[in-house]
Structure 1
Amino acid sequence: MAWTWRFEKADGTEVQPAVVPEEFTTQGDAESWIGEIWKDLVEGGADQVVLFDDGTKIYGPMSLHAEGA
């Protein structure tokens, strides 16, 4: 299995991430990575992410912006 992220603007348009992600072997690894790097992704122009497992959408879009921001 390969867990991957899709990076999007607020309107759902795909954007290239500021930090190139890897393919993750577990959902936990993918989520830990996004938790560590989300601020860099926002600074690079991403507003939200979608998580996929071997091309199947698991959840999202999930905002990268802090609540109340």
Structure 2
Amino acid sequence: MIRPQWEWALDDAEGRRLEAPVTPVFTAQYDAEQWLGEHWRELAGVGAVRARLLHDGTQATPAVELRVP
């Protein structure tokens, strides 16, 4: 059985994909979104300004801006 894979691609201010940090791979969209909700401040703190949710390698939702108010 092949399980769907959901993961976050993190971009810097120039729009380049960050190699680190690497996000976990999830089997459900809900779990991926919940994880981002818990960790977005930490990701923003290391230079991520945008997160894109990928489903089996294809962007599945609009990008999420990671801005600390």
For the aligned pair, the TM-score class normalised by the smaller chain equals 0.7 to 0.9
Report the AA paired with residue 16 of structure 1.
E
Among residues 13, 28, 51, which one is paired with 2:16 in the alignment? Answer: 13
Provide the aligned C-alpha RMSD in A. 1.4
Q: Which 5+ residue runs of structure 1 have no aligned equivalent? A: none
Identity level (%): 35
Alignment partners' CA distance in 2, 1:57 and 1:14:
13
Which letter maps to 1:9? D
Q: Which residue pairs with 1:41 in the alignment?
A: 43
Gaps of 5+ in 2: none
In 2, Cα distance between equivalents of 1:16 and 1:41: 12
TM-score (structure 2 length as normaliser):
0.83
Aligned-pair CA distance for 1:28: 0.3
Structure 1 segments (4+ residues) deviating >3 Å: none
Q: Which has the higher strand share?
A: 1
Give the TM-score taking structure 1 as reference length.
Answer: 0.83
Q: Match for residue 51 of structure 1?
A: 53
Q: For this pair of structures, how many residues does the alignment match?
A: 66
